[in-house]
Amino acid sequence: METELSTIAIMPVPFSPEQILIALAVLIPALVIFNLLLITEGVFESIGLRFYQAVLVTTGALLGSLIDIPLVPVGEAVIAVNVGGAVIPLFVTIGMVGRGRVSRPKILAAVGVVSLVAYIFATPVPGIGITMPFYIAPLAGAAAGLLLAGGCHTAPGLAYAGGTMGTLLGADILNLANPDVLAALAGGQATVLSIGGAGIFDGIFITGVISVLLAAYAGRGLRKKGGVCQEEGE
Helix (H) or strand (E) segment spanning residue 161: helix 155-167
CB contact burial 42-55 (16+ within 10 A = b; e otherwise): bbbebbbbeeeebb
Helix (H) or strand (E) segment spanning residue 78: strand 77-82
Angle between the N-to-C axes of helices 203-225 and 136-149, in degrees from 0 to 180, rounded to the nearest 10? 40
Q: What percent of the chain has pLDDT over 70?
A: 76
Q: What is the identity of the amino acid at 174?
A: L
**pLDDT score for 200:** 42
Three-state SS letters, 119-160: HHHCEEECCCEEECCCCHHHHHHHHHHHHHHCCCCCHHHHHH
Query: Would 146 be classed as within a structural domain?
Result: yes
Please state the pTM of the whole predicted model: 0.80
pLDDT reading at 32 higher than 70: no
Q: What is the pLDDT of residues 73-84, one digit of tens each?
A: 887 788 899 988
Query: Would 111 be classed as within a structural domain?
Result: yes
Q: What percent of the chain has pLDDT over 90?
A: 23
Q: What is the pLDDT of residues 89-125, one digit of tens each?
A: 999 999 988 888 888 999 999 999 999 999 999 988 8
- Number of C-alpha atoms within 13 angstroms, CB side, residue 178? 14
Angle between the N-to-C axes of helices 51-64 and 17-46, in degrees from 0 to 180, rounded to the nearest 10? 130
Q: What is the mean pLDDT of residues 168-176?
A: 91
Total number of domains constituting the chain: 1
> Which are the contacts of 122, defined by CB distance < 8 A and separation ≥ 6?
130, 131, 132, 170, 171, 175
Query: Would 13 be classed as within a structural domain?
Result: no
Q: What is the mean pLDDT of residues 24-45?
A: 69
Q: How do 191-195 and 77-82 pair as beta strands?
A: parallel
Q: Which of 28-32, 33-37, 194-198 has the highest mean pLDDT?
A: 194-198
Query: Would 14 be classed as within a structural domain?
Result: no
Query: Would 222 be classed as within a structural domain?
Result: yes
Give the domain range for residue 200: 19-228
**pLDDT score for 36:** 64
